[in-house]
Chains A and B, each alone.
Chain A
Amino acid sequence: MKVKILVVFSVLVIALFAMSFAANTVTLNMIQVFTSPQRTHVLETIIKEFEALHPNVHINLISPPYESAYQKVYLMLSTNQPLDIVEVGDWSLEGVVQLGKMENLEPYIAKWSGAKDLIPGLLKAVRVTGGKAYIIPNGVYAKALFYRPDILAKFGITQPPATMKELYNDCLKITNPTKNQYGFDFRGTGLPTNFIDIITTSYLNDIDPSNMYKLKNGKLWFKDPRALEGLKLYLNFYKNTAPKDSINWGFDAQVNAFVAGTTPFLFQDPDTTGLLNSMLKKGQYKTAPLPVGPSGKVYPSYGFGGWGIPNYSKHKELAWEFIKFFTTPMISAYFCKEYGALPVLKSVYEDDPYFSSGVFEGWKKMFSDPQKYVFTSYPLANPAWTRWTKYQQDTMQQALLGRITLDQLTTKWYNFWKKAFGM
């Protein structure tokens, strides 16, 4: 009998202890959408730092496989699953916000001193839905020209091309299929929107900086003869300077072909540097600004991903604490270095020598000449956007295969956006 009482008593004590302990520890659930084993490792390191500063907080990182990540985010948010910090990329931001489950971060930003350190224009770019910010960016992406000086030297090319025409001629010069040597690192699949648009729009000098698909006079440019010239060049890059197989190339295949030297010219984002640094020796690759088109301009765009907070979260303040922590110069610099993104804070560019080194040459030059390199926004708030990227890819592939003409292609695109913009 005594034993029984003792057991019951001790169980009660332990239970009470456990409960009081549990009450003090807060678990935050955080989901990332660009999972890779290395990225998960970087995030876990940052989480550990945060937990060390906040002993009562535990962060549970959810890392769904890359391809199905957004399906998971949608399902979790729509059924109010326990989530406190959600990562969203620019292309999916509107969709996630439209679920009606994301917290408007404007009141938080208004009280946040760190907001002033964000690079100019970034918050504006993030305010996709109704002019309100629902995420704080954790990294910025923009395309630059990557090239392989070691391979190009063999063909007597010592300077990166400054114009699209030069790039095309360089590519033609070195292409020799029998030796498996090609020029342009073509992107046929995995949503090649940026690649198509960078080359095509470089033929136009009056793109509306707030909408990649419109001219300054408000018209769509798809039926403009200059755009047709641009698309012709794009098609020729595929036909004459890239392997046939590249119609199937996504990001990973592009990187592999670049590393192998098969195609020494690549348009890519800064996150490629993280990969290339591990696969190539120092100096084997460099970056340069994107070549400009006949218009004398080129229209890159900012890509971004960032952290947001679900509006049903029970720990919004703590989640915000974490996001602020992530956006301090030290953590931001660490994340961007390890993962390979452009930092979101001005002070990081000024204080960290890594981001002014040769690897970042291309971006530095592009940021310093806004006349030539006109950073332009995509119509991300349009509900047709998610369909567009896949539609553009599929129709472009049809044109690459010669199943439709470029005229038919531009008509399809024109009709798509005419309807989507309600014009």
Chain B
Amino acid sequence: MKRSKAHRNLKNFIFWMLFPTFTIVAILTYYPTIKGILLAFEDYTVFTFQNIQFVGWQNFETIFSDPNFFIALWNTVWWIALSVAFQFVLGFALALLMRKPFRGRGVYAGIVFYPWALSGFALGILWSWLLNGQFGLINDILMKLHLIHHGIDFLSNPSYAFISVIAVNVWYGIPFFAIMILAALQSIPNSLYEAAEIDGAGSVSKFFNVTLPYIKPTVVSTLLLRVIWVMNFPDIIYGMTKGGPAGSTNILATYMINIVYFESDYSKASAVGLIIISILTAYALTYLKFTSSYELGEI
């Protein structure tokens, strides 16, 4: 009798502690998501607003018959792979460099980490200005240093444009990884390093045998989340190129925005959204399959 009362109390305790978070997520994320998914199977545009019909897979058929969709899909893969890889490696390196205290580290962190605190969209248009082929700051500096003679068409040559948007995204994302990894590095007990030193480990060996295993859970979870966020992050590209020229910097997220802005076809946009969710779910499941539960425990 007493036991079951305690059990009931515990159950109540768990329920009410979870209640606020999951109520808001259910009402504001999941309910509208279901509505949005239903939208993907209708023909909701401004032209059909007065008579919206269920159209089955028609929106998906339209999307899959559009060659630009596949360009955007392929671009998305490269966008994620290159952005996240460089953000991670460079962020990791920065965290390692900042691990040991030095004079002015606080101020240094403040300056190096600030890109993270700016809005992606504002940064996008700022960089499109800096990278302007005619009047841009970057070209001007390069010409002053006599590295180039003509302005580089950073954003008008399709292949440069794609590299440029990725480079800016890398620049933007380094602080995130640096902060997360730095926080994890700070929590490694010094005793572990001392023990390794007694065993005669060099700095390379210390890195692989102490540092890496200790922060692995953080790395695993931040990489997982980062890929998801970067895929759904159109801000920088939209600010810089809107997906152009000729769709060469489109990723699925900007492809979706362009459908909303230029076609006002909300159902087709929702269908793209559903495709994005499906890809990410498949990715997350695969990722988690190859990750042990210990590592997941961190997340």
Chain A–chain B contact at Cβ < 8 A? yes
Cβ contact of B135, chosen from A188, A189, A248, A256, cutoff 8 A: A256
Q: Known contacts A244-B153, A245-B132, A245-B156; decide if A71 and B261 are in contact (CB<8 Å).
A: yes
Interface membership of A74, Cβ < 8 A: yes
Q: Give chain B's interface secondary structure class.
A: loop
Say yes or no: B153 contacts A245, CB within 8 Å: yes
Interchain CA distance A400-B157 in the complex, whole Å: 11
- Whether B263 is near chain A, meaning CB under 8 Å from some CB there, is yes
Q: Do A99 and B50 touch across chains, with their CB atoms under 8 A apart?
A: yes
CB distance from A243 to the nearest CB of B (A): 6
Q: Given the known A-B contacts A74-B264, A386-B262, A390-B262, are A248 and B244 also in contact in the complex, defined by CB atoms under 8 Å?
A: yes
Pick the contact of B46: A74, A189, A257 (CB < 8 A).
A74
| Smallest CB separation, A165 vs chain B (Å) | 27
Q: Given contacts A248-B155, A390-B263, is CB(A243)–CB(B245) below 8 Å?
A: no
In whole angstroms, how far apart are the Cα atoms of A232 and B242 in the complex? 27
Q: Is A247 an interface residue (CB 8 A)?
A: yes
The answer to whether B241 has its CB under 8 Å from any CB of chain A is yes
User: What mask results when residues 154 to 166 of chain B are scored 1 for a CB within 8 Å of chain A, else 0?
Assistant: 0111100000000
Contact between chains at A70 and B264 (CB < 8 Å):
yes
A374 shortest CB reach to chain B, Å: 28
- Kindly provide the distance from the CB of B239 to the nearest chain A CB, expressed in whole angstroms: 11
Distance to closest chain A CB from B153 (angstroms) = 5
Give the 4 A-B CB pairs with smallest separation, nearest first: A245-B133, A397-B246, A390-B262, A95-B46
> Interface residues, chain B, CB within 8 Å of chain A?
45-50, 68, 132-135, 150-151, 153, 155-158, 241-242, 244-247, 258, 260-264
Pick the residue among B49, B132, B135 that contacts A100 (CB under 8 A).
B49
Give Cα A67 to B45, complex, Å: 18
Interface 0/1 of A373-416, CB less than 8 Å to B? 00000000001001101100010011011010000000000000
Q: Pick the most buried of B49, B156, B241, B242: most chain A CB atoms within 10 A of its CB.
A: B156
Residues in B neighbouring A95, C-beta threshold 8 A? 46-47, 264
Closest to B44 in A: A78
Q: Which residue of A71, A180, A387, A390 contacts B134 across the interface (Cβ within 8 Å)? A: A180
Q: State the CA gap A177–B262 with chains docked (Å).
A: 34
Q: A386-B262, A390-B258 known; A99 and B46 CB under 8 Å?
A: yes
B245 touches which of A74, A180, A248, A256 (Cβ 8 Å): A248
A78 touches B49 (CB 8 A): yes
Q: A401–B261 Cα gap in the complex (Å)?
A: 24
Q: Is residue A96 contacting chain B, with contact meaning CB distance below 8 A? A: yes
Contact B263 A386 (CB under 8 A): yes
Decide if B134 touches A243 in the complex (CB within 8 Å). yes
Distance in angstroms from B277 CB to nearest chain A CB is: 22
Contact between A397 and B245, CB atoms less than 8 A apart: yes
- Show 15 A/B contacts (Cβ-Cβ < 8 Å), sorted by A: A71-B260, A96-B46, A98-B49, A99-B46, A244-B157, A245-B132, A245-B156, A247-B245, A248-B133, A248-B156, A248-B241, A383-B45, A394-B247, A397-B244, A397-B247
Q: How far is the CA of A387 from the CA of B263 in the complex (A)?
A: 5
- The reply to whether the CB of A260 lies closer than 8 angstroms to some CB of chain B is yes
Known pairs A401-B245, A403-B246. 13 more at Cβ < 8 A? A71-B264, A96-B46, A100-B49, A188-B245, A245-B134, A248-B155, A248-B156, A256-B135, A383-B45, A383-B47, A387-B263, A394-B246, A397-B244
Contacts of B46 in A (CB 8 A): 74, 95-96, 98-99
**Cα of A398 to Cα of B246 in the assembled complex, Å:** 5
Please report the C-alpha to C-alpha distance between residue A98 and residue B153 in the assembled complex, in whole angstroms. Answer: 42
Complex Cα spacing A397 to B258, Å? 16
